[in-house]
Amino acid sequence: MKKTTQLKTMLHHPELDFLIEAHNGLSARIVEQSGFKGIWASGLALSVSMGVRDNNEVSWTQILDNAEFMSDSTSVPILLDGDTGYGTFNNFRRLVRKLEQRDIAGVCIEDKLFPKTI
């Protein structure tokens, strides 16, 4: 089953399922082998794993590259934290297209300004 279909099934299922956070290919594989049905790839976890603050210091292409490693090492769906969409509508549309190419099942965004402010 496609990862997008797996995520959609989880979201519509009457039983509660859990996503657990992962930040790279190895942690994603551990999540899958631990029996979780999906992965949450948060901006915080991805940023911290690269040694920077969760304040858009990591580019969207770096997030994309890391998510691709996670996707390649697992068969469960990944829901990516897309922060604020990385700019304009066009930026977000391009991000979604690139996530689809890398078999990332979903993305969520925040209703805030880009770049993030603390």
Catalytically active residues are 54
How many CA atoms within 13 Å lie on the side-chain side of 111? Answer: 0
Answer yes or no: are the C-beta atoms of 106 and 5 closer than 8 Å.
no
The three-class DSSP label of residue 39 is strand
Polymer length in residues for the chain: 118
